[in-house]
Amino acid sequence: MTKVLEGKVAIVTGSSRGIGRIIAEHLVDLGAKVVINYVSSSDQADDAVKTIKNKGGEAIAIKADLTNMSELEGLFSKTISVFGKLDILINNAGLMNNKPLLEVTEEDFDRAFDVNIKATYFSCQQAMKHMEEGGHIINMSTSVTGQMFPTYSVYAGAKGAVEQITRQLAKEFASKQISINAVAPGPTDTKLFRVGKSEEQIQGLRNMVGYGRLGTPEDTAKVISLLVNDDAQWITGQTIRSNGGFI
C-alpha cells in the first residue's frame, strides 16, 4: 500500500472500536501517525494502539470526553505536544439513541446534540487553531438524513446539523487551505448497528442498498482515505454519501 499519508498526523475521535478504529488503522496503513481518542473503553483503546504498533505504525491513545470543553482542548494540545502538529481530523465520535417522538426526553435530545454536533463543532474550532495549512477534516454524518425513518428524528437532526456546519465552515477553513467534508455512510455492519434490530429489519435495510449488501467499516475507511489525500484538496464543503446506493 502506497504511503500517501507519510509524515501526517491524524486524530480520529471515538476510535477505540467500530468504524472509528478501522478508519484509524487504515490511515496508519497509509503512513499517518494516529491519535486514538476514547471516553471509557480504555482496554479497547490500548488494544488498538498495540495492534497499530505491531504493524510498525505509530499511535497513542488519549482519553477525552468531547462534550467537555477542557477535555476536548486537552485532546488537541496533547496531540501537538506528542507529535508536534496536526494534519487530519476525523470527527467520528457519535451517539445514536432512536425513539418515537413521544418517548424522546429533553435529556435524550441534549445528549444527542452534545455528542453529535457540539463536539464536532468545537473540534473544528480547535482544528482551526492547531491544524497545519493544507490539512483535512472529515465530519461523520449519516445517509439517514436523506431518508424518512421513524424514530430517527433526533439522530438525523443532529447529523443534518453536522452537514450544515461542514458547508458553512468550508470558506473559513479555505483561508488556511484546509478541506472540510462530511461523509455519510449507509447501513454499516457493526456490532452497534445490530443492537436492537431483528434479522428481518436488518434484511430490509440490506435490500435498500443498491449493491444488495450492508456496508463495512472498511468501505467507509477507504472513502475517507481518498478525501484526506492531498490529491482531493479541491473537494471541500461537500457531503459524500458513501452507501452503495442506499439513497
Catalytic residue among 38, 121, 152, 155: 155
**Regarding beta strands 136-140 and 59-63, do their DSSP bridges make them parallel or antiparallel, or are they unpaired?**
unpaired
CA distance 170 to 178: 8
121 catalytic, yes or no?
no
Cell numbers standing for residue 22: 478501522
Q: How many CB atoms lie within 10 A of CB 78?
A: 16
User: What does each C-alpha distance from 62 to 57, 65, 164 come to in angstroms?
Assistant: 17, 10, 28
Residue 123 phi/psi, 5-degree rounding, is -70, -40
Strand partners, 59: 34
Strand partners, 34: 10, 59
Residue carrying C-alpha cell 477534516: 137
Residue carrying C-alpha cell 506528542: 82
- The answer to whether residues 55 and 47 touch, using CB atoms and an 8 Å cutoff, is no
- The answer to whether residues 75 and 66 touch, using CB atoms and an 8 Å cutoff, is yes
Q: What is the DSSP string of 126-159?
A: HHHHHPPTT-EEEEE--GGGGS--TT-HHHHHHH
Residues catalogued as catalytic: 155
